A = this chain, B = another copy of it.
């Protein structure tokens, strides 16, 4: 009896001491947010090996907040990875967020797939190519044709197929060159139908967006095509997931007149009176419609002629 007890004690003592030491060492580690990865299985969006999206991921176990689905259309150009890098780093600061990144391409590119895999975010990587007739030529002004339509609609299709009414969440259409304060994500999370706020530096104004009285939208501060049913920017609203799922056919209209893209979706979902004003009754600007200059790459030709052009293996 004595021998047995002492042996049990010794074994337990050794095992528990090792366990305790390990655990205490873990607690001593600083919270290194630059490598912040949320716990999760190898669903698409968490694995370094997922190039092709796998099945849907249930985020509600991670946090118990409604999930913010950020839908971002993107296309290849020299500063694409810069844009996606800085946007992904902002998104990393927002809990319970799922990034749906949709490339305008025939195939999902390795560069974007790698960026997503290393981002630390929950994500879905999709692609759909804009029909040639709808694409802007390099020389076209950026406003000539609506952009990102097919890509946003592809994300809407994905949500219809992969989410159900029991999932709580909100959908936000966030272009890859805008600037987002993390505060705007707090504002949109508990949207019942469609929530709205001001967007800075858009529509030719310092800001554009709803006018609010007694907590309701009564009009819009806008100058450009003020007759639009919803004269607001894509970045100025979010739609609850349940509202979208209850309108399975809701899509952006690729044939909408210039500036009417937002209205083409919202008109199917809400009336102006139902809009939910956010960001201090639409008096704060927490998202800006910034645009990035096209980089000058003329010296590449100079170096190419000398056989010293930039190494294409260096990802930019």
Task: Give the interface of A toward B (CB within 8 A).
Answer: 1-2, 5-6, 8-9, 12-13, 16-17, 19-20, 23-24, 26-27, 30-34, 36, 38-39, 62-63, 78-79, 81-83, 85-86, 89-90, 92-95, 179-183, 185-186, 198, 200-207, 221, 223-224, 283-285, 288-293, 295-300, 302-303, 308, 310-311, 313-316
Q: Is B292's CB under 8 angstroms from A291's CB?
A: yes
Q: Is B33's CB under 8 angstroms from A206's CB?
A: no
Q: Is A310's CB under 8 angstroms from B181's CB?
A: no
Whole-angstrom CA separation of A23 from B24 in the bound complex: 7
Choice from B180, B200, B224, B302 contacting A299 with Cβ under 8 Å? B224
Chain A contact surface mostly: mixed
| Centre residue among A6, A186, A206 by max chain B CB count within 10 A | A206
Q: Is B201's CB under 8 angstroms from A285's CB?
A: no
Q: What's the minimum C-beta distance from A255 to chain B, rounded to whole angstroms? A: 26
Q: What's the minimum C-beta distance from A239 to chain B, rounded to whole angstroms? A: 21
Given A205-B303, A308-B221, A315-B285: A31 touches B36 (CB 8 Å cut-off): yes
Q: What's the minimum C-beta distance from A316 to chain B, rounded to whole angstroms? A: 4
Give the chain B neighbours of A24 by CB distance below 8 A.
23
Whole-angstrom CA separation of A8 from B299 in the bound complex: 78
Give the chain B neighbours of A201 by CB distance below 8 A.
78-79, 82, 295, 297, 316
Q: Is A292's CB under 8 angstroms from B295's CB?
A: no
- Pairs across A and B, CB under 8 Å, 21 listed: A8-B9, A9-B12, A30-B63, A30-B95, A31-B32, A31-B33, A32-B95, A34-B94, A34-B183, A79-B179, A79-B288, A86-B86, A86-B90, A86-B180, A205-B300, A205-B303, A206-B297, A206-B310, A283-B313, A285-B315, A285-B316
Copies, count: 2
Give the chain B neighbours of A198 by CB distance below 8 A.
314
Q: Is B293's CB under 8 angstroms from A293's CB?
A: yes
Whole-angstrom CA separation of A302 from B297 in the bound complex: 37
Q: What's the minimum C-beta distance from A260 to chain B, rounded to whole angstroms? A: 18
Whole-angstrom CA separation of A292 from B288 in the bound complex: 12
Q: Is B290's CB under 8 angstroms from A291's CB?
A: no
Q: Is A200's CB under 8 angstroms from B292's CB?
A: no
Q: What's the minimum C-beta distance from A237 to chain B, rounded to whole angstroms? A: 18
Give the chain B neighbours of A38 by CB distance below 8 A.
30
